[in-house]
Every structure is written in structure tokens, then in C-alpha cells.
Amino acid sequence: MSPVGPLLTATVFLPAVGALVILAFARSDRSVRTWALAVALVDLVLSLLVFSMFDRSDGAARFQFVEQFSWFSVDTFKASYLLGVDGLSAPLVALTGLLGICAILASWHVDVRVREHYIWLLVLQTSVMGVFTSLDLLLFFLFWELELVPMYMLISIWGAGRKEYSAMKFLIFTLLGSAFMLVAIVAVFLTPEIGTFNMIELSQAGTMLSGGVLIPLASLFWMFFIAFAIKLPTWPVHTWLPDAHTDAPTAASVMLAGVLLKMGGYGLLRINVGMFPDQAEQYAWVLVALGVISVLYGAVVTIRQTDLKRLIAYSSVSHMGLVMLGIGSIGITQGTLTSAGLNGAAMQLFTHGTITGLLFLATGLIYDKAHTRYIPDLGGVAGRMPIVATAFLIAGLASLGLPGLSGFVSEVLVFLGAFRAYPWPTALAVLGIVLAAGYILWMMERAFFGRPRERFADLTDANLVEAAPLVLLVITIVGIGVYPALLTEVFEIGLEPMIRVLNGGG
Amino acid sequence: MTWAWLIPVLSFAAAPLIVVAGRFLPGKGSFLAILAIAAGFGLFWLTLSGFLEANTSTEGCARIVSAETGKESGPLTCQYEKTWFYAGLPGLEDSVELTWGILIDPVTVVMLGLVTFVALMVQVYSLGYMRGDPKFGWYYAVHALFAASMLTLVLADNFLLLYVSWELVGACSYLLIGFWHERPAAREAAKKAFVVTRIGDVGMLVGILLLWREVGSFEMSAAFEAVRNGAIGEGTATAAALLLFLGAMGKSAQFPFHVWLPDAMEGPTPVSALIHAATMVVAGVYLVARAYPIFEASGSALLVVAIIGLLTALMSSTIALVSTDLKRILAYSTISHLGLMMLSLGAFGYTAAVFHLLAHGFAKALLFLGAGSVLHSTEEQDVRNMGGLRRVMPLTTIVFSIGALSLGGIPILSGFWSKDEILLAVSQHRNVVFLILTLVTAFLSALYMARAMFVPFFGQLPAKLEHVHDAPPSMAVPMALLAVLAVGFGFLAFNWPGEYVGFGGFVFDAKPHGFEFLVWLGAISIVLAVVAFAIGYVLYIRGAYRSERERAGKSGLVKMVESKYYIDEVYQWTIDRLVLIFANFIGLFDRAVVNDLAVNGPANTVRHVGIALRVHITGHVYSYALGMVAGTLVVAVIWWIVAG
């Protein structure tokens, strides 16, 4: 138990409780919005508390704010309600809080089934928070699955275009991965020597999963891997992402790109690297190969996209490839692994969350006002919407890795780490930054710059509610870009035990 | 000198201030940018005097100490750093420490002088030139950021910080070239500048990663030390040097990455002056000069630098000869001179390159500001429509001529001395083919300068230009100051009596490489320059119009040069035919194969199997009974066959 009471439980379940309150008491759309905003605001404060109160001193516990209650036990097997954060998950909790409030604000103009929309958003936030904080495999899996429902609803009800198809595609893809993960979890369950779902114990040095597992450890590794690779997503299981993004409403896109994808990267780090260090090191080259392919393939496909949202979605495939590449940096280092690659991967999770969140927010605003996302139809928007265009420009420059903005830090760390182990593949992946410059600047040029068009004469810039999340994210992007130690030091604390295990230490 | 970091920081601070508060301030906050850079210029003098007084006992300062002899050599180098962030826990052995650090050595000091002075001149000049522009404040904010980034670049003591500022310089040039983004050409040019230079940046980044992998640190001094003591072999040094050079080729517009620079004139003219003289393009030359120990360790890398430099210089000086746009002529002239600097570096002429960088910087800033003054009042860029401007713009004519004569290599002006030093380096370290081609380039560069000077300013004044006026004071003063330097800067090269040992002595410090002058080489270069200007006079003043108009499209060779050797077309073809078609193909592959076949395929199969099976689920008892009977019969038959 933490010194401030059940902080994590409060952070995780406050949105869900808020959703119940809205269901029961909120009468008008207006009060629904106010309630949702208030809940998200309090949750943001709570998540920032988790982040800032996380004890960074030497000798502090690895997992903090731990809350544990026995849930059920079968024979010797105990499942428990176990929450806690370490240096890896604390920043991601903060990220979820941050994007949560952005999503709420981005939904301000929704006028169809308002109450449901906000309820699903809040439930979504609870489930993602749950994934990042639960330290019991079963609980982790429950939250992982819970997240599907609200996202499915958000896309299929408030989406556009082929929304049912996209929502179903998203659902089936993720469920396919979950099926593999469930098998792996059952295998853990059926192995008496392990006898625990406790992820703290499972990820301790020397791997708890060493002896007498029902099926080979490598296959467990791959089953978890498939689940997380789909979520990330990596090539070639990425095709759900462009569809889901394109058809999702703005708030859902923000959450999807901002935090849902990050669950995949988090799972890879926490479970694949944390619990199967030997296998992770052995198969790191697969991760590197997939990473490099995703980076380049995603970037090449992005160049030809004409829909703003689809373009950002494909660029996400490219950028998530960097996460793979960073994690792949643990290969062939022979006990001399530095944390650069893993830290870069973790940083990329956070920075991509804020950058892409901002891109989707700005795109949403443009779509609401100009009623098109088709790039050739836009053009000259910057003249009418300077705030939105500036935010978009900053996010775009961050996305192409401009120093001083957050994207650069994670990119460079990933390259540093990966280059030590795999110089040639990494050099190939660096080419991605040229392609990124190409597609981002081409998009800026065609959609934003130029003489404002006649029919955009009455476009209005972002108002206060719309600008607030933009400003929030711009501050985060610039802040991390200028002073990355804010995050790198915390991630480092979380990654350091893993690296010690990987380097063969105790 | 520990506070030299203030020089860029002041300008860095000015930029956001202008963006946020500029609209409430007089002059939209432009004075903030000017004050910041003026303070930077003042601090440059303090740094210079501090550096001249410093010795190895000064805090942070040292010379290279040879391991064997224990002797000190090389220039005095002062280094001060602060931690930025760690990739790894602070204190852990294997963690990567990323620092903000500044390194002050003679090259840094002279670059600080060049950048702060030219940026200050350009910003003052812009007060007049950009007056009334709706985005006046934004212009100054980006200007401040631009100068700050470039100053960080020359101060950086580690490769990562250098890369950071390198990219920021690129981004600022993107914003300034595309400043008038309503014009399609400006948008195109801005994007082109950023993307083309970024191709080089990939090489540079990989080079930095390679050095980090080998050395375990981003610090330049550590890398140089590793090269010196042999921790890095020649193969690796060659690879690292060539990769870094890729970055330098992009920024310094070397063939084949030069295509962005002529288009970059779409930005406001003072921006061109800044880009061509003090920031952006000189960054590449600076990078090679800064990382020179790595290049020196590899003879083949230096040879590549020399060849690329010579090729660039030769190619662009021919294009400059036939361009009709005043700013484009100047742009190709810049490329040509950057090529000469690279050639000089590749011919062990380190001092000469840095010297020419400065001499060219002052003259080119002057020429661009002069051209800006012409464009400002005539609103005309095509030299074929100009002539006789000396009657209406006397001051501009004088300063422009000084710049042109200086770059053309007319004696006692600064360009003559620096060009001569380059010729000297080439004649001493490269073979005679290099020397002849360099002399050809020198001749051509004098010729196109003569053309740029004679055609617009001398000869007949067209009637419609009779109303034009000369530059207002805010534009005239910076031009006059730059003109003084374009004339007199070269005298720094001499071995003056007393302590001062000339420019080479300052840059090389401990191994005095004083000013040298070969009479025969100097004579050739003087003759070439004078002849070129004489030919220019004959060609362009006697019938400037006729020769300009009749030449167009005469011979195949001229046509090829006029089409800039079709290099832009090759790029366009590569992008259209290779990159975009490849992207289309991959995009199609993604939809058709990965999505439709691999994803929707199984989904559709499942659906069809379901539909097919559904036919048999009729819900009628008799059809099920029939199935049972049929099944029983089949089982019975099999049983009978197997068992019987």
C-alpha cells in the first residue's frame, strides 16, 4: 500500500466510476460533458501524482504504490488483484491521463448519443490504465480484453466511412492476438512449478519460467509476441490500423494512436523482454528485421496517402517499427547491453503518443470545419486556422525527428542502441527519416500552405476548448524535447533491472 | 570564455519572446532579435580577447599532448560542458551521457565573428527590406532562431549537439525559404531544401552513430584522440569521414546535392544573404574543418572531398555564366565557391578554406544585400531587363562592384588573398590537373562576376527603370560596413610585424603556417582575373543586350549548361518514376496482397464455408433422419469392408 492510500486503484477506476455516475445522474448533454471533463481532469491529476510521487531515489522499491488482495486460488494457484507501477509504466500512466482529457475535449462537439460516447471513453480510459498498472497476468489479460469493447463501440457508432468493417477488423485482429496470449497464460497456469500469475515474481532475475513448463518457453514467447505485435502493430499484421484510424471519430483516433498501440510496446517490454530474457535475446534479430521492414514499408506507403488520417495512421506503422528496432537492440551484445535502445523504445511509446495524438486532434478540427480530409481538396488552411496549423506543424516536425522536439530523442536513442548490435539494418532504418521528411513536408505543403481557397473563407480557428488540448500536447512535446531527462531517467529506473538480467547479472 | 554559451542562448530566448509578445511591442519585437544578436556580436569580441589571452593553464583549455614526446601541439582548445540527459543512469559505467558543451578554438572564434556580424547586418537591413510585411514579427523570430542554431553549431563540442543544431538550421531555413508560402515556388523550394539536405543528414547521422560505436562517446575530442592513437583504424576513419561528408555535401550544396540552393532564393533576399554567407551552407565546410583530424587520417576521404569540391566548383561556375536571374547567378557563384573551399580542405589547405569561407561570407552577404536593394526598388530579377543602374543607384553599384571584384579575385581585395591561398594548397598537394582545373574555375568565377556586375549596373538604363531610387539608410549602412570588410579583410592574412602571425598562424596556432605567396601563381591568378573582367567589359558593356539575347538556345553545349546539366530533371525523374511508382506499388501491395488476400481472404473463406454449411442446417426432422440413416449405412459398409 502506498503512503497515500490506494492511489492506483483510484487512478484506474475513477473514470469507470465517473461513467456510472454519468449513466445514473447526468440529465443533459451539457452536464454529461462537464462531468466527463471533471472526471478526466481529476484522473489526470491522479496520474500525474503517480508519476511525480514515484520514488526515484537509489534503493527505492522497483514496484511502487503496490496494492495486493487475494482474488481466488485453485489448489496451490493464487490469482490476485495486484496493482503497481515501476519506472516503465509510471510515464505511460501519465500519458494515458494526458490523452484521456484530450479525448474528452476533442469530443466536445459530438451531438449523437452524447452520454454513451463519454461513457465509453471513460471505460476505455479505465481499461488502458488497468493494463499499464496490473501486475497479475490474469488481471492484465482482463483489462487487455476490456479495452476492446469501448473501442469497438466508439468506432462502429461514431465513426465514418466503412465504420462497421473497420471496427470488426480491429476487434478480430486483436482477439486473434488475445487468443494466443490466453493460451500462453493457461500454459503458465498449468505449470505447477510456477504457481503464480504474479508478474513481479515472474520478471525477477534468472526467469521464474525456467523449469518444467508444459510447452517450450520459446513458444510461450512467440504467443505473447504475436498478441503484442498485432497491437503495436508491426508489419505484416498492421492492416487493421489504417482502417480503424480512418473511420474512427477523433477522440477514438487519439486514444487508439496515443495509448492503445502503446499497450503492445509495453507488453513486449514488460513480458517478452522482462519475463523471457533469454528468448528475447536469442530472437532479437526477428524483432530487428520486423522493425526495419515496418519503418521503411510504413514510410513508403505513407508517401502516397491522400487522406490526412490514413497518412498519419501509416506513419504510425513506420514509427512503431522504431519501437521494435529499439527492443531488438538487445541482441548480440554479449553482456554489454546499454539501455539506449530499450530506453529509446520506451521513449518512442511516449513521444509518439503525444505527437500522433496532436496530429489527430488537429486533423479532427480541420475535418469538423472544412468537412474534408482529402489532401488535394485542402490547401491554404494555414491562413484561416493559424493555431491549428501551427500545432500541426510542430507535431509534424516532431514526427520527422526535429531536434528540440520530443520525437528526436526517442529516435536517436533507438538508433544508438540498435546500431551497436546491428549496424547495417539500423543504417537502413535511418533512411526512414528522409521519407518522413518527404511525407510530412509534402502534406504540410499541400494541405496547409498556399493561398487560402475561396470556399474556406469562413473557416474559423480553434476556440478555447479546442485549443486547450493542442496547447497541452505542444507543451509536452517541446518540454520533453528540450529536457528529455524528465522521462528518460524514470524509464531508466524501470529498465535497469531488465538490463541487468539480460547482461547475465543478478 | 565559460560564458560563451550565452551567445546563442540570447537569440534562442528572443525567438519565443517575439512569437508570444511581439505583437504588443513596437516594431513587432524585431528589436529583440537585433539586440540579442548585437549582444552576441559584442560577446564575440570578449570571447576573442579572452581566447587570445588564454593559455594551457586557463580553466578548460588544453593543447594536444603527444603521447610519445610529451610535446604540446595543435591549436589551443577550450571546452566547457554541462550534462543534458543520460541514456542510462547517471554514474553507471555503460550509460550514455549526452551533454551540452561548447568548444572554443580558433575556428570557432572566427566563425562566431562571421555569424554574429553577418546576422546582425542582415537583421538591420531587413528592417528596411521587410517593412510592412504582415508576418514581420514571425520573420524576426525565425531569424533569431536561425542565428541561434548556427551559433550553437559552431560552438558544439560533441557530434550529437552539432547534429541537433544542424537540423535546427535546416528547419529554420525551411521556414524562411518558404516564408511567402502563398507562392507555390517558395513552398516547393523550401521543401526541396529540407528534403535534399536531409538525404545527406542520413549519412551524417550514421557517421555519428559509427563514431559513437567505435569511441563510446559523442565528444569530438574523444573521437580525434581515438583517430590519433590508432584506436580507430583507417578503414573506419574513411567510412566515418565519408559519411560525415555526405552531411556536409547536403548542407554545403555540393554536387549532386546542390540543386536546392539555387531554388532557395525564393525566400526574401536578406534570408538568401544569411543562408549563403553565414549560416546553412557554410555549415558543411565548417563540419569538414571541425572534423578535420578524422579526414586527415584517411587519404582517400580527402581525395573524395577534393574531387567533389572541384567538380562542384567547375560545374556551377559554368551555370552561373548563363543564368539570367541575378539571384540565381549569385547562388551558383556560392556553390562554386563552396566547391573551392571543399577542394581546399581536400588539398590539406585547412587554413585557406576557413579563410576563404570568411572572405567569401562577407563578399557574398554584400552581393546579396546589393541584389536585394536592386530587387527592392526595381522589382526585377532578370538581368536582361536591367542596365545602367549606376546612374540611379550609385551606392548599391559601388558596394556590389566591390563584392564582385573581391570574389572575382582582383588584387588587394580580400577574395584575391583567400583564393590565392587555395591555389597554393592545390599546387602543393594535388597534381597538375587539379591545379589547371582550379585556375579555369577561378577564371570562370571572375567572368561571371564581371557579368553580374556589368550587365545590370552599367550600359544603357532602360526607360522604365528611370524612377528607381537607392537603398534607404537601414539598408545602406549594413552594405557599407560589409563592403569595408570585403575590401580589407584579406590584410589579416599577412605576417604583420609584432605578435600577430597572420590568419594561418591564428588558426593553426602552434605550428605557424604563416602567409605564403608564390609569385608565379599569384601572377597567373591576377592575369586571369584581370583578363576575365576585361573580356566581361567587352562582351557585356558593348552590346550587353545583344549578347544576352542572341545567345539563348544557340548551341547544344550552351543549352545543356542553361538547363543546368539536366540534374533537376534527373531528380524529378527519379522521384516521379522510381520513388512514387515504387510507393504506389507498395501501397497497392499493401491493399491487395497484405490486406485483401492475407486478411480479408481467410475472413471471406470462413464466411463462405459458413454459408455453404448453413444449407445443410435445414431444421427439418426428416432431413436429419435421412442423414442419420445415410451415415449409419456408410459406417456399416466401412465396417463390413474393414472387418469382413
Q: Would you state the pLDDT for residue B221?
A: 84
Cβ-based neighbours of B351, under 8 Å, separated by 6 or more:
B421, B503, B504, B507, B508, B513
- DSSP type of residue B579: I
In whole angstroms, what is the distance from residue B555 CA to residue B577 CA? 29
Residue A158 has pLDDT above 80, yes or no: yes
Instruction: Answer whether A309 touches B (CB < 8 Å).
Output: no
CA-based end-to-end distance of chain A? 27
Q: Would you state the pLDDT for residue B508?
A: 60
B100 to chain A, closest Cα gap in Å: 11
Mean pLDDT rounded to a whole number for chain A = 86
Instruction: Answer whether A170 touches B (CB < 8 Å).
Output: no
Closest CA to A436 of A328, A314, A342, A291: A314
Q: Would you state the pLDDT for residue B637?
A: 92
Query: Mean of the pLDDT values across residues A175-182?
Result: 90
**B409: exposed, middle or buried (C-beta count within 10 Å: 0-12, 13-18, 19+)?**
buried
Query: Mean of the pLDDT values across residues A25-43?
Result: 88
- B129 φ, ψ (degrees, to nearest 5): -70, -40
Instruction: Answer whether A175 touches B (CB < 8 Å).
Output: no
A450/B182 touch (CB, cutoff 8 Å), yes or no: yes
Assign A475 a pLDDT band (cuts: 50, 70, 90): very high
Determine the residue of chain A that is closest to B85 in CA distance. Answer: A485
Q: Would you state the pLDDT for residue B515?
A: 60
Which residues from chain B sit within 8 angstroms of residue A412, using beta carbons? 160
B residues 467..526 contacting A (CB < 8 A): none
- DSSP type of residue A196: B
ipTM field? 0.86
The amino acid sitting at A357 is G
- DSSP type of residue B266: G
Which of A92-106, A157-171, B181-195, B478-492 has the highest average model confidence (pLDDT)?
A92-106
A285 to chain B, closest Cα gap in Å: 19
B167/A408 touch (CB, cutoff 8 Å), yes or no: yes
B206/A449 touch (CB, cutoff 8 Å), yes or no: no
What distance lies between CA B205 and its chain's CA centroid?
16
Instruction: Answer whether A496 touches B (CB < 8 Å).
Output: yes
Which residues from chain B sit within 8 angstroms of residue A239, using beta carbons? 590, 594-595, 599
Which residues from chain A sit within 8 angstroms of residue B89, using beta carbons? 339, 489, 492-493, 496
Q: Would you state the pLDDT for residue A505?
A: 61
Residue A287 has pLDDT above 90, yes or no: yes
Task: Dump the DSSP string for B471-496.
Answer: --HHHHHHHHHHHHHHHHGGGGGS--
Q: Would you state the pLDDT for residue B56?
A: 74
Residue A506 has pLDDT above 70, yes or no: no
In whole angstroms, what is the distance from residue B622 CA to residue B627 CA? 8
Q: Would you state the pLDDT for residue B510?
A: 43
CB-closest option in B85, B96, B587 to A304: B587
B residues 148..177 contacting A (CB < 8 A): 160, 163-165, 167-168, 171, 174
State pLDDT tens for residues B514-573.
566 777 888 888 888 888 888 888 777 765 555 555 555 566 777 777 777 778 788 788
Q: Which residue has the higher pLDDT, B37 or A379?
A: B37
State pLDDT tens for residues A249-280.
989 999 999 899 999 999 999 988 888 888 88
Closest CA to B84 of B66, B100, B105: B100
Q: Would you state the pLDDT for residue A112?
A: 84
B448: part of which helix (H) or strand (E)? helix B432-457
Q: Would you state the pLDDT for residue B107?
A: 85
In whole angstroms, what is the distance from residue B221 CA to residue B224 CA? 5
Q: Would you state the pLDDT for residue B496?
A: 58
Q: Which residue has the higher pLDDT, B495 or A356?
A: A356
Counting as low any pLDDT under 70, the low residues of chain B are 65-74, 83-98, 493-516, 542-555, 644
- B473 φ, ψ (degrees, to nearest 5): -55, -40
- B59 φ, ψ (degrees, to nearest 5): -55, 130
Query: Mean of the pLDDT values across residues A162-180?
Result: 89
Residue A417 has pLDDT above 80, yes or no: yes
